[in-house]
Amino acid sequence: MNIHEYQSKQILKEFGVKVPNGSAAFSPEEAARFAKDLSTDVVVVKAQIHAGGRGKAGGVKLAHNIDEVKSYASALLGRILVTHQTGPEGKEVHRLLIEEASDIEKEYYLSLTVDRKTAQIVMMGSAEGGMEIEEVAAKTPEKIFKEYIDPGVGLMPFQTKRMAYNMGFQQSVIAKASKTMECLYNAFVAKDCSLAEINPLVVTKQGEVVALDAKLNFDDSGLYRHPDIEALRDIDEEDPKERAAAKASLSYVNLGGDVACMVNGAGLAMATVDIIKFYGGEPANFLDVGGDSTVDKIAEAFRIMQSDDQVHSVFVNIFGGINKCDVIAAGIVEAAKVVGLRVPVIARLDGTNVEEGRRILREANVPGVHMAKNMVEGAKLAVELAKEKKLQARIKG
């Protein structure tokens, strides 16, 4: 789960990281009021969306008086911001962070994440602050320093000191930089983060070490023990179909094409998306109905897939292990009754109770439901029927 910059900063502040004074504003009036409360000459107006690259996209403005704050806020709120991380459709700005500007002496990069290979938390730091760290890693990997943290003892002072010296902090701020690392680590562990990133971390002209930006991502599996984090969820930032799917314990990712896929198991669901593309189609989604499907869950899956106007066919690809084909087949029949089938459905069933599943579909004889002999036939037919349906829609339109 992701949260906004201002929320991340609030959490880091609680753990002792120094952040600029600021508040989240939802209207130009609020923005102006918060700007007045700040005692600085220059105020930063920052668009709050769950994506990086906001500065380059025009989402960060420096205001020199209250009128400027107000006009920047009016211009940004409601605007669609397109950054390299949002995709071409961009994201609408609903919130702003109104923050005091800092006198920057130098920018750095600092982050924590879990290293899969060593099964340890790894701290990464670099003097190349404010840049895309992937770019730094690709071009000049020697400029990124790493400290692997022993889970038995946690982040040790020698490591924060070594990192601070490696990153090139002046002696006068070594202690403050080390302290920032320790605080960031404490937050990471306490809140079950999957990523904690400060980019840039700055040293100000006044000799303070300040998190100018902050990004915290959380491990979804750990959220059950952090209701305070769950409460920060911003549903405006999430795809409504992905959200509806999550509520029904379905795993769904919108992919934007016109052949919808309903599959059991994440691996097969990914591979089904791939095979649709392989046969010349455009997959509309990844959808894993999980190992314990019920008829209701299948019906809900159909509701979600068909709520996408772009969808022109549905490919059901099931290998019944724990999921039984008869339950899936009954689910398709039920979905046809309660949700209605707007587009052709192509079903490939194999595995546990396959004969029973095929019998249910055959006997129900639902118009628009096709049974495929095997996966290849099913994928090809789904692609073909989507193209036909699309053509019909175009002729009608």
Partner 1 sequence: MGIFVGKDSRVVVQGITGKQATFHTNIMKEYGTNVVAGVTPGRAGETVLDTIPVFNTVSDAARETGANVSVIYVPARFAADSIMEAADAGMDLVCCITEHIPVLDMVKVRHYLKNRKTKLIGPNCPGILTVDECRLGLLPTYIHKKGHVGVVSRSGTLTYEVTYQLTMAGIGQTTCIGIGGDPVKGIDFIDVLDAFNQDDETLAVMMIGEIGGTAEEEAAAWIKANMKKPVVGFISGRQAPPGKRMGHAGAIISGGKGTAADKIKALNDAGIEVADTVASMGETAVRVLKEAGLYDTCHTC
Identify which of residues 117 and 394 has a Cβ nearer to partner 1 in the complex: 117
Phi then psi dihedrals of residue 335, to 5 deg: -60, -40
Interaction residues for partner 1, span 173-192 (CB under 8 A): 189, 192
Q: Give the active site residues.
A: 109, 197
Residue 253 near residue 279, CB atoms below 8 Å = no
Length of the chain: 397
Stretch that binds partner 1, among 112-120, 228-236, 335-343, 382-390 (CB under 8 A): 112-120
Q: Is 222 in the site for partner 1 (CB under 8 A)?
A: yes
Phi then psi dihedrals of residue 222, to 5 deg: -95, -5
C-alpha 155 chain-centroid distance: 28
Identify which of residues 70 and 380 has a Cβ nearer to partner 1 in the complex: 380
Q: Is 331 in the site for partner 1 (CB under 8 A)?
A: no
Q: How many separate helices (H) and strands (E) can be counted in the chain?
A: 13, 18
Which of 187, 273, 339, 383 is the binder for partner 1 (CB under 8 A)?
273
Identify which of residues 158 and 278 has a Cβ nearer to partner 1 in the complex: 278
Give the closest residue to 51 by CA, choosing from 210, 224, 204, 238: 238
Stretch that binds partner 1, among 7-15, 176-184, 276-284, 334-342 (CB under 8 A): 276-284
- Is the dihedral angle over the CA atoms 240, 243, 245, 248 positive or is it negative? negative
- 234 vs 240: CA distance, rounded Å: 12
- 33 vs 264: CA distance, rounded Å: 52
Stretch that binds partner 1, among 3-11, 41-49, 74-82, 214-222 (CB under 8 A): 214-222
Q: Measured from the CB of residue 337, what is the shortest distance to partner 1 in angstroms?
A: 27
Which of 176, 277, 303, 342 is the binder for partner 1 (CB under 8 A)?
277
Give the closest residue to 23 by CA, choosing from 79, 81, 85, 96: 96
Residue keyed to tokens 């969306």? 49
Residue 384 in 3-state DSSP? helix
Q: Is 269 in the site for partner 1 (CB under 8 A)?
A: yes
Q: Is 62 in the site for partner 1 (CB under 8 A)?
A: no
Q: Measured from the CB of residue 276, what is the shortest distance to partner 1 in angstroms?
A: 8
Interaction residues for partner 1, span 121-160 (CB under 8 A): 121, 133-134, 137-138, 150-152
Which regions of the chain does DSSP assign to beta strands (E)?
22-25, 43-48, 60-63, 80-81, 91-92, 95-100, 104-115, 120-126, 144-149, 193-204, 209-211, 215-218, 251-254, 259-263, 285-288, 313-320, 345-351, 369-371
Q: Measured from the CB of residue 36, what is the shortest distance to partner 1 in angstroms?
A: 38
The structure tokens listed for 396 are 């009608």
Interaction residues for partner 1, span 72-101 (CB under 8 A): 85
Q: Tell me the site size for partner 1, rule CB under 8 A.
A: 56
Q: Measured from the CB of residue 252, what is the shortest distance to partner 1 in angstroms?
A: 9
Q: Is 246 in the site for partner 1 (CB under 8 A)?
A: no
Contact positions toward partner 1, by CB under 8 A?
Answer: 85, 114, 116-117, 119-121, 133-134, 137-138, 150-152, 189, 192, 194, 219-222, 224-225, 251, 253, 255, 263-275, 277-278, 283, 286, 288, 291, 319-322, 350-352, 374-376, 379
